[in-house]
Each structure stands twice: as structure tokens, then as C-alpha cells.
Chain A
Amino acid sequence: MTDPACMHVKSEAMDIKVLHKSSTFSSFTSGSHKIGNWFATLSERRRKSSMKASKSLTLGVVHENPRFGSDGESEEASGASDEVTSPVKLRPKNRRLSEQDINKRLSLPADLHLPESFIAKQNVSPTIDGPLSRATRRQSLSEIGFGRMETYTKLGKLGQGTYATVFKGKSRLTDNLVALKEIRLEHEEGAPCTAIREVSLLKELRHANIVTLHDIVHTEKSLTLVFEYLEKDLKQYMDDCGNILSLNNVKLFLFQLLRGLAYCHRRRILHRDLKPQNLLINERGELKLADFGLARAKSVPTKTYSNEVVTLWYRPPDVLLGSTEYSTQIDMWGVGCIFYEMACGRPLFPGSTVEEELRLIFRALGSPPADAWGGMAASYDIPHYQPAPLLSWAPRLDADAVDLLTKFLCYEAKKRVSAADAMKHTYFRSLGPAVHKLPDVVSIFTVPGIQLNKDPGYRASGFPKSGVSGRSRRQSMLL
């Protein structure tokens, strides 16, 4: 290095001067310029690159994604896939490969139905004894059917949103049910940014209480996210048991919600759209967070987010009043509302306008102090309300539960309890210490003694076993 000062000047020149000056588009006049000179080369290259792309659609060369294979199970192996040596090495050369061998070799789950043609091809393949290269492995996964639409049978529509349609589907590889979230690709502006953010976020998240993304299928017209299928969402679950849940189940659902959320918050990801419709539940009682379309990695704490985020009923008062600076605490208010709704069988603050929502909140919890939220509340005409004792409007809750609920429903965002701290509340003590020591991807139902109770109001029609019977009631998931 020569002269530090000089270097600094250089770097500044590079970044600022150059770019600012040229940004004036100074010479529009030169008529002699061949427009599209660049484009000629571009489109020629483009043909090359799009050829690559379209080739990859069939060969899957660009499906750089061994990790998505197979219900997430190949993920661990994908890193080490280059070292994987074939299990057939030790056996006589001419032995025909069985499905099992191939499954092992590609680190796939055992219940896959490999296509005949694929097995035949593996048997003639000369490279079978050598270690598997990343590219071969990727290609193999694609030939099996990962990343391809033919692999999934659509069974029926579950719901429609602004940018995605969700279908119930079945994987031909595993016979498992899946949820297919089909995102239309706008020709105007390419893939919607909600989709881009949702996919990139979900790829980072692996947790027992977060819905698993199995595969991504990309065709010319759409991008389809293949999720694990869960029978219903919390809203339906509550409807199906006449809004009377067993208090044991309320505790288990709340704990799982907090567990999933604590994991997200640890990674500085906000959900921002918590509501019963976004919490999916399977037969075992496992609850999983879904729909990260509005979530975003919280990059800079001071960044202001758009105000229109959470469905009104679960929206904290500071956000209702227009606060745009929020952090993980934004999700915790909604947790409180959901907790109450599960325990008491009705939504806590079902306001249909901002004013009504605020009025309902203040009527229950008392008027906020005048200086709350930097005086933002001052512009609203708030009648003076005395806080009503929580026990009086939540008769089913015991003292611990009420204490925890109060901590969620705290006016001052900074004082709201965090998801991680809430899990340690005495309310959950009855679950025992083991639930806190589970690895991220392990369900709490693996702990002995943890199980769902029969809900008092449960009607037999609850879990539709198959097909389209549950179709019409399922509106909410992932939209």
C-alpha cells in the first residue's frame, strides 16, 4: 500500500464522482448512435442463456437444489454428497441395483417410488461406482421428479389469494399429501416480491413449528411452492370444536406458537401477520406457522415498515395508531389475542375499523396514559376507560394464564414479553422441563406425556380424511 490518503481519494472518485456525473444522461443528442447495438449482442447471448435455461427445465441442471429433495431429509447429505460412495462398491459388479441402493446413494427417504425408467438408467450408468458429483446428484434428483410439476397431482383448490392459488395435491413420489401454492408469474414485473421474500425466508427456516417447504417447481408461467400438508388451521380447529377447546390443548398450541415464533425472532424475522388462519394444525396436534408473505428479515432496527400489515383484530394499538417502527414485539400482541381466543372461544378485539378496534382495546384494558406512543394517541378522541380486571372477561383462565396474557397485551411495545421469555412463564411449568431441551426440528409431542386431549365441543366431522370434503372450509392457508 502506498499512500493511504491517495487511496481514499481514489475510492471516493470511483464511487461517487463517476456515478454522479454520468447520471445526467448528458449526451442525448448523438443521432448517429446505433440504438440497440447492445441489444443485438444481448439478445444473441440471451438466446444462449435462455437455451441453457430451457434445457435445464427438462434436465434439471439448474435445479441447484438437492436440499429441497425429499421432504428435507436429503438436506444433511447434500453437503457431503461429494464424499458419498456407493454402497454397491463392496458387492459383485454385475449385481442389479435395487431401489433401496439408489435411495441410499442419493440419501432419499425410503418411501419413494422411483420410476422404472430411472432405475433402468442407473443400472447402465457407468459412473455408478464412482463417487457422486454434485451435478450428477442434482440431475438424478431431477430425473426422479423433484422440481417437476408432473410429480404432483392436483386434487382440489384450497383457496385463492391475490398472488397465489393454493391447491391440495399429492406427491407421486411419496404418496404424501402436499399443499401446492401456485404463484402466477406476472409478465409485467416478473416474480412477485412477496414470493421472492417468502421463499428465501422459508429456505432459512427449519423448525418443527414452521411449515416445511419441500420443493419448488418453476415452469414458464408459474412458480409453485410445495409445502407439507396440514389438515386444518386454528380457525377451523376452533370452529370444529364449537369454540370450546380443552385447556390442555390451548396450552400446547400456545407453547408451539411461541416456540416457532421464538425461532423466527432469533433469526430476526418477523411474521407480521399472525392470525388463527395462518396457524396450521395436523391430527397429532402439531401447530405450524405458515404464510411468511409479509414477513421480512429485519435488517436494520430503525427501518420503517409499511403500516398496513396485520389483520385488524390482532394488531397492536401502537401499529393501529400509525407507528411504523416496530420489532419482534409486533408479533407478541397478536399472540395474546390468539391465546384469549383459544381459551375463551371468541375473538378478543373484533373491531372492523381502526377506531372500533382501538375502542374495544381501551375499553378492556383501560385508556392509555396521555404520553403513550409519543403522544400519537392524543389525536384520537379517547373516552376515559378504567381497566376491567382480566379475570372478569376470561373466566376459564387461571391466575398464571391471566398473568401471561397481561404480559402479551402490554401497551408499551418494549415491555411486551418476548416469545422466548414467555415460554419460560410458570403457566407452562406443567409441561415439564423436557420441552425446552428439544432440538429445533423435533416436535414437542415426542416428549412422553405430552398429548392432545379430546376437546369438549369436538364434533366427529373434524378431520376430513381425504379428498375434497374439507375443501370449501379451507380458505385461509398461505394466502
Chain B
Amino acid sequence: MSCVVGEDLTMKDVIDVMQLQREKSKQAISVDYREVENNFVAVRFIFECGIKLDAQPLTIATAAILYHRFFKEADSSGYDSYLIAATTLYLAGKVKDDPLKIRDVINVTHNTLNRGAAPLELGDEYWNMRDAIVQAELLIMRMLKFEVTIVHPHKFMLHYLKSLEGWCEKDDWSKMPIAKAASAFLQDFHYDPAILDYTPQHVAIACINLALQCYGGQVLPTDEGEGVPWYSVYADDLQKDKLWEIMEKIMEVYNKEPK
């Protein structure tokens, strides 16, 4: 933002920012997945389709993790990222016992890629897609050595937040949407394969700590001040450097978002 000259200008700038955000979110709505193909957009595709399919949040998170793990093993130029994305979503439904019908997955993914297209007829095209997904499902499982059970940061985060809530002054806690922000950070971190590099516990702590930093809440002893930081109760193996490294990775996600 340009430097502030007077009060009026400040106001104007603020409005501009809001305008910018509105435009940005408008643009984001009409992501044309056929135009761009990279892992970030593919995970967005997973989230979009997952929400349309009314999948549980943890199912969608599983799909995102499976997607990243697959492309950690495989060369991304060899596979259609949207086929893999659709398949991880379908597979995640089975892993999390949140079954998604293959027909629904095909219809939703097809329509999300080809916005405005009519639903697929039960023809060759549909059968081909179904075969592709069924085949890709086994391919993914084999690539991941059939290890498709995932330990999520979510439950750790919930547990940490619950006990932090009891620790804080009630007024301080309710003033700041820490839980909401931390959850948003956690969900967004799933866009980045870096999430694979850290333990679920550490990711959960980093999301909460980032939220605390954002709101400048001095409700808890942070690692800025003296004494024992709040998170040491939950993870005694987490050093400050590591924590800030994860927090930076989370922030980087927002730079990777396509403009």
C-alpha cells in the first residue's frame, strides 16, 4: 500500500483494500481449472468438489494429503492432476468411512472442470472416466504402499484449543476468534505439500500460535517473552525455530494463491 498522506487518503486506501478483496474473491470463484494446472489449483479443486459433494472436512483433508503424498512419489508430468484429485477424493471417502458415490464424484468433478456443462450421459465418456478413477485408485494405493490411514492435526488442535480456553481469561478469549483463525490456517495449509514434512501435533501448534500472533493476544505466555511458552505443555520436542519455520510455511501458502 502506498504511504499515507492524509486522513482522507487513509480512508480511501482502506476502501480500496476492501474493494480489492471483493474483486479477488470474485475472480477466485471463476477459477478455470482447464487454464492452469498445478498442485495448488488441484488442491483447490479437491476442496471445491469435496464441499459440493458434502464430504466431511476430514475426508477432504485426507484427500488433499493423499494427493500431496502421491505427487511426492510420482512425476507430476505423467499424470492428470485432476484425475488424481478426483480419485483421492473418492478414495478418502472410503478411508474415512464417509462414502462418496463414484457417480457423484464424476458428475461433480466433470461439472467443476467444465463449468456449465450438462451432466454426463451414461455413455462411453462416463464409463471411461469411471474406469480411469477405479484404476487410479489402485495406482494411488500401490504408490502409497497401501498406507492410506492419516493422522490429522485437527483433533490435536481441537484438544489444545479446548484446554487453552480454560486457561485464558474468558473475556480475552471471546474477544479474539483464535479458534476460527487457527482452523482457517490449518485448512489452508493443506494446499501446500509442506504439510507432509511436520508432525500433526506441530502443525496444530503452529496454526494456533500463528492465530495468536495475528491477534497480538498476550493471553498466553508466548515464546517472545520470558518463561515457558504455552505450547511446551503439549509438545516438549518443538523448538522455537521449528515452530516459526512451520508458521512461515503456512504464511507462504497465501503467496502461492494464483492472482
Chain A residues at the B interface, C-beta cutoff of 8 Å: 1, 4-15, 17-23, 25-30, 33-39, 41-43, 45-46, 48-50, 52-53, 56, 62-65, 67-68, 185, 187-193, 196-197, 199-201, 203-204, 216, 218, 223, 296-297, 299-300
Q: Is the CB of A190 within 8 A of B137?
A: yes
**Chain A positions within 8 Å of B138 at CB level:** 53, 185, 190-191, 218, 223
Q: Which positions 127-170 of chain B face chain A at CB distance < 8 Å? A: 128-129, 132-139, 141-149, 152, 155
How far in angstroms is the closest Cβ of chain A from B249?
12
Chain B residues at the A interface, C-beta cutoff of 8 Å: 17, 21, 24-25, 28-31, 34, 44, 47-48, 51-52, 58, 73, 78-80, 82-83, 90-91, 93-97, 99, 101-102, 110-118, 120, 125, 128-129, 132-139, 141-149, 152, 155, 177, 181, 184-185, 187-188, 213-216, 251, 254, 257
Contact of B47 among A4, A19, A63, A199 (CB under 8 A): A19
**Chain A positions within 8 Å of B139 at CB level:** 49, 52-53, 62
**Chain B positions within 8 Å of A14 at CB level:** 28, 44, 188, 257
**Chain B positions within 8 Å of A216 at CB level:** 146
A–B Cβ pairs within 8 angstroms, 20 of them: A11-B184, A15-B188, A17-B25, A18-B44, A20-B51, A21-B29, A22-B48, A22-B52, A35-B125, A38-B82, A43-B132, A49-B79, A62-B142, A62-B143, A190-B94, A191-B141, A193-B95, A196-B94, A218-B142, A299-B155
Contact of A41 among B29, B80, B141, B144 (CB under 8 A): B80
Q: Is the CB of A201 within 8 A of B149?
A: yes
* B contact patch SS: helix
Known: A12-B184, A17-B25, A203-B145. 10 other contacts (CB 8 A): A4-B213, A6-B17, A18-B25, A18-B48, A38-B110, A45-B80, A188-B102, A197-B149, A218-B142, A299-B152
CA distance A216 to B95 in the complex (A): 18
Contact of A8 among B116, B181, B216 (CB under 8 A): B181
* A contact patch SS: helix
Q: Is the CB of B143 within 8 A of A64?
A: yes
How far in angstroms is the closest Cβ of chain A from B70?
11
CA distance A452 to B120 in the complex (A): 63
Using known A-B contacts A10-B254, A18-B48, determine if residue A33 contacts B142 with beta carbons closer than 8 Å: no
Q: Is the CB of A30 within 8 A of B116?
A: yes
**Chain A positions within 8 Å of B216 at CB level:** 4
Using known A-B contacts A4-B213, A218-B142, determine if residue A13 contacts B28 with beta carbons closer than 8 Å: yes
How far in angstroms is the closest Cβ of chain A from B43?
11
**Chain B positions within 8 Å of A4 at CB level:** 213-216
CA distance A21 to B25 in the complex (A): 10
**Chain B positions within 8 Å of A65 at CB level:** 142, 145-146
CA distance A36 to B132 in the complex (A): 14
**Chain A positions within 8 Å of B110 at CB level:** 38-39
How far in angstroms is the closest Cβ of chain A from B200?
11
Closest to B248 in A: A1
Q: Is the CB of B114 within 8 A of A18?
A: no
Closest to A5 in B: B214
